[in-house]
Structure 1
Amino acid sequence: MKLYQKTIVSLCAGLSLLGLGTAQAQNYPERAVTMVVPFPAGGPTDLVARVVARKLSEQMGETFIVENKGGANGAIGMQAVAAARPDGYTILYNTSSIALTPNLYSKLSFTPSKDFVGVSSTATVPMVILTHPSVPADTLEEFIAYAKDNPNQLSFASAGAGNVTHLTAHLLNQATGISAAHIPYRGSAPGLVDLVGGQVQFMVNTINDSYPMIRDGRVKALAVTSSERSHLLPDVPTVAETVLPGFESGAWQGIAVPAKTPTEIIERLNKEITIALQSPEVKEQLDTQGTQVLGSSSEDYQTYIAQETKRWGEVIRDAGVKLD
């Protein structure tokens, strides 16, 4: 009899929690939501995150506050969200760093695959291979030939060791036989400044924050790393159509929440993100940046993150990159 009573009590408690979760989702959000961007303000990730946050604020009737917590290739911001209450009021605007970080650090205080649930992919920002105007090459083929004729004489910038801009350049250099010195910066902006100034000779960087310098002729764009050409740079070929068939790399982004966030809230966020990404104004704003809109189910995004974690893990081990 006592066991039966305990079972009834447990069942009622479970039903109460289920009802509470449903009620939370129906009323969510009831206050401002903090969207943590684990990179500096004004960078390529921040530019997209703020477009999405503004639209979600408009749709859901509560402010989505973008909070920049840069550092350690995104690990500082991710750690903050992993430690937050799983109630939907602190969410992560993640990049591919969520897949790179567990391969770069051996002593993290969190494990992305266990401490986060992917809500939805949002966008991918194609990257572009840039050179200083003094480099005597107007095509990727000419640049590769020049770099191979001058081994270890060139240097390339990245947004940080282990960043996707670094690893994509590593893949390109390895596949084409280029030997060059890697100069990591604390973000893409200072790397671009030194590229314009001629302190480094080339860089792989996202299109959305490189485009103004390409447009003004301060750097040369030789190829894009996406599978298709960018409408912002229609005359710039892809790496795949020039020297490396099948080559593709992009700075993908999405939204994740702490593990144990109620399923109903994850589903609500996914629904609202999907609506936001399909809206004409968001598409137009991201299109202006050269950013490609994505969107997915929570399950598909989880699978994609796992696949990318495995893929980039192999690249990172090959490059011999460790950040602790």
Structure 2
Amino acid sequence: MKTNAIKFAAAALLAGLAMSGTAFGQDYPTKPVTVVVPFSAGGPTDTVARLIAEVMSKDLGQQVVVQNVGGAGGTLGAGQVATAADDGYTLLLHHIGMSTAPSLYRSLPYDPQTDFATIGLITSVPMTLVARKDFEPDTLDELIAFVKANGEDITYAHAGIGSASQLCGMLFMEALGTQMTTVPYQGSGPAMTDIIGGQIDLLCDQTTNTTSQIQAGEVKAYAVTTPERLGNLPDLPTTAEAGLPGLQVGVWHGLYAPVGTTPEIIARLGSSLQAALADPTVIERFAELGTVPVSAAEATPAALTEMLTSQTAQWKGIIDAAGIYAE
């Protein structure tokens, strides 16, 4: 009888724990959720995060706070989330840099594929090649010839090691077989400020950070890195039109949680992310920035995991060939 009583008590305890776990998933969240953006405020990834966070706050019934933790090409903020509690209250919104960091950094304090739980893809943002508005070349053909002729006399800005702007510049220089003088910044926002101010010659960055400046005539635009022209920048040719088909790159963004976060919380965050991506205001703002939200089928853990895995393998070959690394 005593043995049966113990078994019954143990079974009741396990059932209670299971029920409490389910209830925890259903009750989540009970306090604000922090989304870490591993880049400076005002940059393209920050813009995406704040648009998403506003709608997710309404859907979750708790404030979703964007926290900028810049530095070390995005690895500082990502590392902070990798070691955060797996309770769903600290998330990471990162871009293509999640797939390039393992190859760029000889000593990375986390593994993007094993230290995070994927939630879903968000969007893939085209990139544009822009310059200070008084830069000598006026067309992409002229720019190509000018870069080949002047090489390291030209300054190229990027948002730091592993940033999308560095990757685009690396592909551009590889396509031309010419090196420019690269100038790293702590984020895309400061880099764009110096392009507008005329202190730097060139920048290749996401449309979320360049569209309004292009439309306002604050910078000179040469091309977009997509197979087809963009609806909101119809006069901007593609890089392929100028004979640079290899210079095609889109900057995908994804939402992550620390590994160990429960499936119930991941599912709740996933449904909230999908609600944000279906929001008319988000769709409209994304369109103004030259991008669109991913489909519901892509805003899933499986789709983000597949993207991260395939892109990590692809960029490893490119980065190893270029021989560009960071400590």
Tell me, yes or no, whether TM beats 0.5. yes
Give runs of aligned pairs for residues 163-312 of structure 1, distance below 5 A: 163-245=163-245, 247-294=247-294, 295-312=298-315
**How many residue pairs were aligned?**
323
Deviation at 1:129? 0.4
- TM-score, structure 1 as length reference: 0.91
1:321 aligns with 2:324: yes
Match of 1:97 in 2: 97
Q: Is residue 167–residue 315 contact of structure 1 (8 Å, CA) maintained in 2? A: no
Match of 1:41 in 2: 41
Match of 2:86 in 1: 86
Give deviations 1:159-215, integer Å, cap 9, x for gaps. Answer: 112312111111122112233221111112222233234333211012222223322
DSSP 3-state at the match of 1:291: coil
Q: Is residue 164–residue 251 contact of structure 2 (8 Å, CA) maintained in 1? A: yes
Q: Within 2, Cα distance between the matches of 1:69 and 1:179?
A: 30
Q: Is residue 144–residue 178 contact of structure 1 (8 Å, CA) maintained in 2? A: no
Q: Within 1, Cα distance between the matches of 2:137 and 2:148?
A: 12
Q: Within 2, Cα distance between the matches of 1:184 and 1:219?
A: 19
Deviation at 1:289? 2.3
Identical aligned residues as a percent: 36
1:70 aligns with 2:73: no
Deviation at 1:134? 3.4
Give deviations 1:202-255, integer Å, cap 9, x for gaps. Answer: 110122222233223232111011233222211101112331236421222111
Structure 1 residues 9, 286: CA separation in 2 closer, same or farther (over 3 Å shift)? farther
Q: Is residue 127–residue 206 contact of structure 1 (8 Å, CA) maintained in 2? A: yes
Q: What amino acid is aligned across from residue 179 of structure 1 in structure 2?
A: Q
Q: Within 1, Cα distance between the matches of 2:253 and 2:261?
A: 20
DSSP 3-state at the match of 1:141: helix
Match of 1:148 in 2: 148
Q: Within 1, Cα distance between the matches of 2:5 and 2:97?
A: 49
Cα RMSD of the aligned pairs, angstroms, is 2.5
Q: What amino acid is aligned across from residue 43 of structure 1 in structure 2?
A: G
Q: Within 2, Cα distance between the matches of 1:20 and 1:244?
A: 57
Q: Within 1, Cα distance between the matches of 2:227 and 2:315?
A: 18
Q: What amino acid is aligned across from residue 228 of structure 2 in structure 1?
A: E
Q: What amino acid is aligned across from residue 170 of structure 1 in structure 2?
A: M
- TM-score, structure 2 as length reference: 0.90
Structure 1 residues 236, 135: CA separation in 2 closer, same or farther (over 3 Å shift)? same
DSSP 3-state at the match of 2:129: strand
Q: Is residue 97–residue 163 contact of structure 1 (8 Å, CA) maintained in 2? A: yes
Give deviations 1:80-123, integer Å, cap 9, x for gaps. Answer: 11111111111111111211222222222221111101100111
Q: Is residue 227–residue 247 contact of structure 1 (8 Å, CA) maintained in 2? A: no
Match of 1:22 in 2: 22
Structure 1 residues 68, 216: CA separation in 2 closer, same or farther (over 3 Å shift)? same
Give runs of aligned pairs for residues 52-63 of structure 1, distance below 5 A: 52-63=52-63
Match of 1:121 in 2: 121
DSSP 3-state at the match of 1:248: coil
Structure 1 residues 61, 221: CA separation in 2 closer, same or farther (over 3 Å shift)? same
Q: What amino acid is aligned across from residue 310 of structure 2 in structure 1?
A: Q
Q: Within 1, Cα distance between the matches of 2:134 and 2:255?
A: 40
Q: Within 2, Cα distance between the matches of 1:262 and 1:167?
A: 34
Q: Within 1, Cα distance between the matches of 2:96 and 2:244?
A: 22
Unpaired stretches in structure 1, ≥5 consecutive residues: none
Q: What amino acid is aligned across from residue 78 of structure 2 in structure 1?
A: M
